[in-house]
Amino acid sequence: MLESSRFLPSETKMTDAYKIAILEGDAIGPEIVAQAVRVFSTVSARSEAEFELINAPFGAGAYFEHGKAFPDETKAICDGADAILKGPVGLSHEESKKIPVEEQAERGAILPLRARYNTFANFRPIFLSENMAHFSPLKPEVIEGGIDILLIRELVGGLYFGSKKRGVNEAGLRYVHETLEYDENQIRQVLEVAFDQARLRKKRLHNIHKSNVLMSSVFWNEVLDEVHQQYQDVEVVHLLVDAAATALCLNPGQFDVMVMENMFGDILSDQGGGILGSLGLMPSACIGPEKAYYEPSHGSAPDIAGKDIANPYSMIGSVAMMLEMSFSMQKEADAVWSAMRSVFEGGYSTADLSAAGDSIKIVSTIEFGDLVIKELDTLLA
Ligand code: IPM
Ligand code: MN
């Protein structure tokens, strides 16, 4: 789906196994990771590649067991891995309150993971094949031919990582201060990734910003104009972030590659899951200069944990993205996508997508995995 060739530099492996750190995460995490892990054995049985999977604690469970959401042992395993597969982390609002704020899964695990490997480019494909178009809540005439957008979110800067403080001001009022900061290199590097992807696809890049209000967007757009000089074959379309939210609903077909600041990308990528019909259809890749990790765009859904009903598509799709982007295994990655799509196209669905029609057969997390693995095995035979 992402038409890049090898994305990250790494030595060609002939005999050694690729080392993959597996961070199962919390709530539905272990259930959907279990289905994703099955893909590695099928792919390795049907290709030259070998995978060594190393489990490591990460998230709320890690905090309760080891006192840290991102324990040192896990850091060492991730440091030594060729790529990282991460399940969703976090607990319900009530359960999270038992954990000190700085060790809660978001601040204590996810953001430090992103910062550690400087995974500045977050690829969030918003994709529905034509035959899966019925899963979308949008009218068929609005998404004729399905949906195929690549949202690229800056992931290690902006509002998430700017300086923050709380206090009491001179008037005696409690106040908060939270900043959106970027230097030009941080903006340039994610824009280059986005332009490269636009060049490989339809040569159209939507730049999403808020330059009518935010100085940070004015600066972002200045850097974009400079980077654009090197990509004159790519058309840039500027769109304010609020207008982009509307356009994603009314006419998603106008978008191909979109690029934006961290917080804008967090919000619009969830809207992407909305127009597909479920966040369970949103895998992602978080790419840094030397290391990448792969995760679903959604949370750990504690309300449905342990019921074997979660949709593992986003987790298995994250493995497909790893095969392609970290290991250049394009054929195998394509086969994983095809396997999942043919399961859906065969009339099966997980419960999150059940609104889609009466003829649909609802399958459990494990049954969906069984169907995908069977299909994948045939495709790679
Ligand atoms: C995401 C998630 C994370 C984010 C949270 C869990 C920290 O919502 O990956 O989109 O806000 O980036
Ligand atoms: Mn999010």
CATH 3.40.718.10 residue ranges of the chain are 1-130+278-381
Residue in 96, 110, 122, 261 to alter for ligand 1 test, most ligand atoms within 8 A of Cβ: 110
* DSSP state at residue 172: S
| Cα–Cα nearest to 280, from 292, 290, 272, 288 | 272
Q: Nearest to residue 135, comparing CAs of 365, 370, 345?
A: 345
- Protein residue closest via CA to atom 9 of ligand 1: 297
The pLDDT of residue 5 is 43
pLDDT in tens, 204-248: 999 999 999 999 999 999 999 999 999 999 999 999 999 999 999
| Helix (H) / strand (E) containing 147 | strand 147-154
- The stretch 241-260 carries a mean pLDDT of 98
Ligand nearest to the CA of 122: 1
- Radius of gyration (Cα) for the chain, nearest Å? 21
What torsion do the CA atoms of 230, 234, 235, 239 make, to the nearest 10 degrees?
-80
Q: Cα–Cα distance between 353 and 360 in angstroms, integer?
A: 9
| Ligand 1, atom 4, residue with closest C-alpha | 266
Per DSSP, the chain holds a count of helices (H) and strands (E) of: 12, 14
% of the chain beyond a pLDDT of 90: 92
- How long, in residues, is the chain? 381
- pLDDT value at position 381? 95
Q: What CATH number is given for 137-152+178-276 in this structure? A: 3.40.50.2300
Give SS3 for 293.
strand
Tokens found for residue 374: 């069977």
Which residues form the catalytic set? 160, 210, 242, 266, 270
Is residue 84 predicted with pLDDT exceeding 80?
yes
Helix (H) or strand (E) holding 362: strand 361-362
**Protein residue with least CA distance to atom 6, ligand 1:** 106
Query: 296, 299, 298, 339: which is closest to 321 by C-alpha?
Result: 296
266 lines ligand 1 (CB under 6 A): yes
Q: What is the pTM of this model?
A: 0.95
- Most informative mutation of 28, 113, 266, 268 for ligand 1 (most atoms within 8 A of CB): 266
- The CATH label, of 3.40.630.10, 3.40.718.10, 3.40.50.2000, 3.90.180.10, for the domain at 1-130+278-381 is 3.40.718.10
Q: Is the pLDDT of residue 107 over 60?
A: yes
For CATH 3.40.50.2300, the residue range(s) in the chain are 137-152+178-276
